[in-house]
C-alpha cells in the first residue's frame, strides 16, 4: 500500500510541472474565435502578443502539423537579420562592461551573480545604491530584462540606465537621492543564452515566462523542482531580498501590462497597480500614444492569458508588486534606435522606482 502511494505521489509530482518547450514558432493570421479556443485548449502551445490581426504561437515539434490539420492560417515569424544582430554587444561584452562599472564605482555599484544559465553563463545583477556592498533595510526595487532572449531592447535600455546612474551619482541631485534612498537591483539579461542565439527560449528550448509556479494551475507549489536554471535562479534570488516593487521588460508590443495574467479576477490592489502603470506610460510618451491599448496600459488577462508567468508569481507568492513592460513593437530593432528607446523611457524608469515611497505595503 505504502509503495503504491509513494509511486502515485511520484507520478503526481511529475504531472504537476512540465516546461513549455519551443521548437516551432508561427504568426497566426486573423484567427476565428473557434481557432483561438482550439489553440488555447492545448497547454503545450503558447500564445503571445495578441494583436488585431493575429498573434504569435509557439510550441513543440508537431505544431505546424496541428495547424495544417486544423486548416489554421499561419506564416513563419520573420528572422532577425545577421547584420542587425552583429551590431549588438555579446553577453560576454556586457559582462565585461558590468565588471568594469562595478570596479570603477565600487561605492554605488555592486555586481553579483544569482546563478548560471544552461550554457553556464552567469546571470549578473548590478546593484545600484549608496553603500552598495551592504544589504540594509532601505526599500528594495528590481528590474529584470531580456527574459525572452530575442526581446533585446530591455537589456540595452537597462545598460544605459546603469551608465547614467553611475556616472551622475553625486552631481545629479535626483539620481543621488534615488540611490541614497533605495536599493536598486538590475538583472540585465535573465536569458543570456537566448540573447546569444536570438531565441525566445533558453538553451533547453524552455519558455522562461511560462516556467514559474502558478496559483491557478496544477503547478501551484512554490518549489524549484525541475524548472529551468534561470527560473530557479530568480526564485532563489527573490527569497534573499525583500523586493517591494519590480518590472519585467519584454518586446513585441508597446504597453504596460498589470496583473493578473493568469485569471480574469480583479487584482485586489488594482487601483494602485493601474495608477502606477498609467504613470509609467505617461512618462514614456510613445507608450501612452499607443493606438492598440487605451492610455498604453492593459490588464494582462484581458489581453491574453499567461500561465506560469513571472509577474503573477512575484506578486502572489512573494508579495513583490510587478508589472510587465513591453518596450518595442519590434523585438530586435536596428541598434541605432536603442538610444531613442532609452530617451523615451528614462523618466518613466526613474519615476517607477520613486513609487517605492508611496506603496502601502
Ligand atoms: Zn516576452
Please give the chain's pLDDT, 361 residues, in tens: 445 555 544 444 445 788 899 999 999 999 999 999 999 999 899 999 999 999 999 999 999 999 999 999 999 998 888 999 999 999 999 999 999 999 999 999 999 999 999 999 999 999 999 999 999 999 999 999 999 999 999 999 999 999 999 999 999 999 999 999 999 999 999 999 999 999 999 999 999 999 999 999 999 999 999 999 999 999 999 999 999 999 999 999 999 999 999 999 999 999 999 999 999 999 999 999 999 999 999 999 999 999 999 999 999 999 999 999 999 999 999 999 999 999 999 999 999 999 999 887 6
Same-domain pairing of 54 and 183: no
2 assigned to some structural domain:
no
6 assigned to some structural domain:
no
What is the helix (H) or strand (E) element at residue 82, kind and residue range?
Answer: helix 82-86
> What is the whole-number distance in angstroms between the Cα of residue 133 and the centre of ligand 1?
31
Domain boundary among 78, 99, 121: 78
Same-domain pairing of 305 and 350: yes
290 assigned to some structural domain:
yes
Neighbours of 2 (CB within 10 A): 6
165 assigned to some structural domain:
yes
Name the DSSP class of 266. P
10 assigned to some structural domain:
no
CA 193 to chain centre: 15
Same-domain pairing of 183 and 324: yes
**Dist. CA 257–CA 247, nearest whole Å:** 10
> What is the whole-number distance in angstroms between the Cα of residue 147 and the centre of ligand 1?
7
> What is the whole-number distance in angstroms between the Cα of residue 42 and the centre of ligand 1?
20
**Dist. CA 164–CA 242, nearest whole Å:** 25
| CATH number of the domain where residue 71 is located | 3.30.70
Same-domain pairing of 72 and 47: yes
Same-domain pairing of 70 and 128: no
8 assigned to some structural domain:
no
* Catalytic residue chosen out of the listed positions 140, 269, 326, 354: 326
> What is the whole-number distance in angstroms between the Cα of residue 107 and the centre of ligand 1?
33
Same-domain pairing of 74 and 114: no
> What is the whole-number distance in angstroms between the Cα of residue 151 and the centre of ligand 1?
6
For residue 260, is the peptide bond before it cis, meaning its omega torsion is within 30 degrees of 0? yes
Same-domain pairing of 93 and 186: yes
**Dist. CA 327–CA 306, nearest whole Å:** 18
3 assigned to some structural domain:
no
In a 13 Å sphere around the CA of 36, the CA atoms on its Cβ side amount to 15
**pLDDT reported for residue 359:** 84
Q: Nearest 5°: phi and psi at 142?
A: -140, 145
Same-domain pairing of 152 and 68: no
**pLDDT reported for residue 361:** 64
Same-domain pairing of 211 and 230: yes
Q: pTM of this prediction?
A: 0.94
7 assigned to some structural domain:
no
Lookup result for grid cell 504597453: 255
**pLDDT reported for residue 1:** 47
Assess contact for 84 and 335: CB atoms under 8 A: yes
Same-domain pairing of 242 and 306: yes
Domain boundary among 58, 78, 98: 78
> What is the whole-number distance in angstroms between the Cα of residue 201 and the centre of ligand 1?
10
Domain boundary among 78, 94, 125: 78
> What is the whole-number distance in angstroms between the Cα of residue 72 and the centre of ligand 1?
24
For the chain, the maximum distance between any two Cα atoms, rounded to a whole number of angstroms, is 71
The count of domains in the chain is 2
**pLDDT reported for residue 11:** 47
**Domain range for residue 40?**
15-78
Same-domain pairing of 296 and 202: yes
**Dist. CA 77–CA 28, nearest whole Å:** 9
**pLDDT reported for residue 360:** 73
326 among known catalytic residues: yes
pLDDT tens string 47-89: 999 999 999 999 999 999 999 999 999 999 988 889 999 999 9
| CATH number of the domain where residue 261 is located | 3.40.630.10
Same-domain pairing of 61 and 132: no
> What is the whole-number distance in angstroms between the Cα of residue 10 and the centre of ligand 1?
32
Amino acid at each position: 500500500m505504502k509503495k503504491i502511494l509513494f509511486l502515485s505521489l511520484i507520478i503526481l509530482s511529475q504531472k504537476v510541472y512540465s516546461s513549455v518547450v519551443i521548437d516551432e514558432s508561427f504568426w497566426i493570421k486573423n484567427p476565428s474565435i473557434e481557432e483561438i479556443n482550439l489553440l488555447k485548449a492545448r497547454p503545450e502551445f503558447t500564445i503571445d502578443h495578441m494583436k488585431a490581426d493575429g498573434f504569435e504561437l509557439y510550441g513543440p515539434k508537431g505544431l505546424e502539423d496541428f495547424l495544417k490539420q486544423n486548416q489554421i492560417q499561419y506564416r513563419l515569424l520573420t528572422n532577425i537579420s545577421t547584420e542587425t544582430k552583429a551590431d549588438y554587444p555579446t553577453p560576454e561584452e556586457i559582462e565585461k562592461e558590468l565588471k568594469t562599472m562595478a570596479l570603477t564605482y565600487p561605492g554605488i555599484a555592486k555586481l553579483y551573480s544569482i546563478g548560471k544559465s544552461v550554457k553556464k553563463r552567469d546571470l549578473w545583477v548590478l546593484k545600484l545604491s549608496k553603500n552598495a556592498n551592504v544589504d540594509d533595510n532601505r526599500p528594495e526595487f528590481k528590474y529584470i530584462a531580456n527574459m525572452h532572449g530575442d526581446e533585446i531592447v530591455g537589456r540595452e535600455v537597462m545598460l544605459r540606465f546603469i551608465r547614467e546612474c553611475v556616472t551622475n551619482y553625486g552631481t545629479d541631485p535626483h539620481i543621488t537621492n534615488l540611490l541614497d534612498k533605495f536599493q536598486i537591483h538590475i538583472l540585465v539579461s535573465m536569458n543570456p543564452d537566448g540573447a546569444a542565439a536570438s531565441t525566445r527560449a533558453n538553451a533547453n528550448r524552455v519558455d522562461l515566462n511560462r516556467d514559474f509556479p502558478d496559483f491557478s494551475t496544477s503547478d501551484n507549489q512554490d518549489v524549484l523542482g525541475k524548472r529551468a536554471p534561470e527560473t530557479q535562479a530568480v526564485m532563489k534570488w527573490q527569497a534573499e531580498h525583500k523586493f517591494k516593487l519590480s518590472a519585467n521588460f519584454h518586446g513585441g508590443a508597446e504597453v504596460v501590462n498589470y496583473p493578473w495574467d493568469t485569471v480574469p479576477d480583479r487584482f485586489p490592489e488594482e487601483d494602485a497597480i493601474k495608477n502606477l502603470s498609467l504613470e509609467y506610460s505617461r512618462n514614456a510618451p510613445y507608450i501612452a500614444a499607443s493606438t492598440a491599448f487605451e492610455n498604453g496600459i492593459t490588464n494582462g488577462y484581458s489581453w491574453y492569458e499567461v500561465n506560469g508567468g513571472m509577474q503573477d508569481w512575484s506578486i502572489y507568492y512573494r508579495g513583490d508588486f510587478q508589472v510587465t513592460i513591453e518596450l518595442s513593437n519590434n523585438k530586435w530593432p536596428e541598434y541605432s534606435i536603442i538610444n531613442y528607446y532609452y530617451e523615451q523611457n528614462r523618466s518613466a524608469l526613474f519615476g517607477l522606482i520613486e513609487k517605492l515611497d508611496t506603496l502601502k505595503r
